[in-house]
Amino acid sequence: MSDVMDYTSQAINKKKKQLEDRARIEISMEKLKLAKEQRCILQSQADIIQNMSKAMKEVQVDRDLLKQEKRKLEYMIVDLLKVGHCSKDKLKRIKAIVDE
């Protein structure tokens, strides 16, 4: 009877050890998956930030060009008013459009 109990106890301990090993392996695999997902997320964030900074630079360049064009138009309006080539009402309307 004690041999049967010893055998049963050994079998239970063996099964317990197998389950613990299996659980450790699954936990390790899950940690690896999470680490991989985290790296992917961080890389995606880095890519998004890089793309956003590029887009912001492009927008800034376009904005600066538009400001220069607006200044040129304002100077042209002032020059035309000084010279008197157009009616003042038309120029005021054009200036109002430029100011928008």
Report the alpha-carbon distance of residue 49 to residue 89 in Å, rounded: 48
Per-residue tokens: 35: 């680490």
Residue 86 has a pLDDT of: 58
Whole-prediction pTM: 0.52
At 84 the pLDDT is 65
Mean per-residue pLDDT over the chain, rounded = 87
60's tokens:
């800034």
Low-confidence ranges of the chain (pLDDT < 50): none
E-state strands within 27-96: none
Do residues 68 and 93 touch, judged by C-beta distance below 8 A? no
Q: How many Å separate Cα 14 from the centre of its chain?
A: 51
Q: How far apart are CA 1 and CA 80, in angstroms?
A: 116
